[in-house]
Amino acid sequence: MSLKDRRLAELRARIPEVAAAEALDLQQGGALLVDVREDEETAPGSPAGALRLPRGFLELRIEDKAPDPARTILLLCAGGTRSLFAAEDLARLGYADVRSVAGGFSAWKAAGLPVEVPPTLDAAQRERYRRHLTMPEVGEAGQHRLLRSRVALIGAGGLGSPIALYLAAAGVGRLTLIDDDRVERSNLQRQILHAESRLGQRKVESGRTALLDLNPTIEVVAHDTRLDSTNVLELLGGHDVVVDGSDNLPTRYLVNDACQRLGVPNVYGAIFRFEGQVAVFGGGAPGERPCYRCLFPEPPPSEFAPSCAEAGVLGVLPGVIGTIMAAETVKLLLGLGEPLAGRLLLYDGLRGEFTEIAVPADPDCPSCGPGGTVTLSDIAAVCGA
């Protein structure tokens, strides 16, 4: 008997093996089925519902996917050999019930058990998103989720510029730009989405050009229009996240109320001279997350809320706040971490300090409260605009 055969015999004496049909029953009962084959092997098909985790990354990433060491782990490879070695490694890590699927995927297919063809990235996508793919928290499944995502971005100006660029670079599959302004030279001090060569162009078209130049594999939809009560639901509906990079109060209240109606999370940001703020509103269960009106029930008079054109803004400030907004958006799309929900993050650029303020949900909020009475009416007159 060769050394390899003796080693396999030793493993089979210690590692329980299960038939493919039994593995399916165990999976349906709560066991985790892990396909340890390489990506090129799983591309034609893999057991339905299996976690695809190549052998080379198994020990590095299994704890993130299976934090309970008492959970039953079923390992599957092509023919039932690599899964034995993988099972030995997991047992060494402390997993108490690790089993190998006898015959591997060949036996699974021969038994006529459920198979799914996982979405795959092409070579260019693997190269582009390589740094995402090496992160256990993102990986190939997360990148596919980003590629399927749809984000609406209100404003293609100071905040919208870094948000749009980073979301496009991250691979958000469909990015909708909504703005009704043109590119002016005074924008270029902070609106890095645009360029001198595109002065006079509509901002959404200038932005679309820049984003597709950065990542031509995504879809960029341009709406050269101003949001109002007649179009807001149509323009924002069907998106996974709405990002509000607007610079006026009527739009912020309108976007908030529309997002509450649609049940879509709203990533909010605002800037003023050297200061900025970021929060995530709505998107959870009713009453679970506060909305913009929980923080600002009524708009202040216009003299207390000057625009950037009136008050000025440090050119790099939109980059700081917009980048945080983009990060919150990606977190929401991937279901990672803790979003800035129920928290308002304040940034003081002069002091280089961040401060966090709790924002509780208001049970009497006219927008997100159980007895909400807000309608999607334009409130420009209330804001003094």
Per-residue model confidence as pLDDT tens digits over 329-374:
999 999 999 999 999 999 999 999 999 999 999 988 988 888 777 7
Tokens of 78: 């092509």
Strands, E assignment, 84-171: 98-101, 115-116, 150-154
Residue for token digits 């099972």?
A: 87
Q: Which helix (H) or strand (E) segment is 207 a member of?
A: helix 203-214
Catalytic residue (one of 77, 259, 294, 308):
308
Other beta carbons within 10 angstroms of residue 85's beta carbon come to: 18
Domain boundaries of the chain, sorted by first residue: 3-116, 149-383
- Average pLDDT of the chain, as a whole number: 91
What does the pLDDT read at residue 179? 97
pTM for the model:
0.79
The answer to whether 308 is a known catalytic residue is yes
CATH 3.40.50.720 fits 149-383, yes or no: yes
CA-to-CA separations, 62 to 15, 37, 56, 228, 234, in angstroms, rounded: 18, 14, 11, 48, 42
Topology of domain 3-116, per CATH? Oxidized Rhodanese; domain 1 (3.40.250)
Residue 271: per-residue pLDDT = 95
Give the residues of the chain that fall short of pLDDT 70: 1, 285-287, 301-310, 377-385
Per the listing, tokens 């991250």 go with 170
Q: Whose CA is closest to 191, among 180, 206, 169?
A: 206
Cα angle 298, 262, 254; round to 5: 30
Q: How many residues does the chain have?
A: 385
CA atoms of 329 and 335, how far apart (whole Å): 10
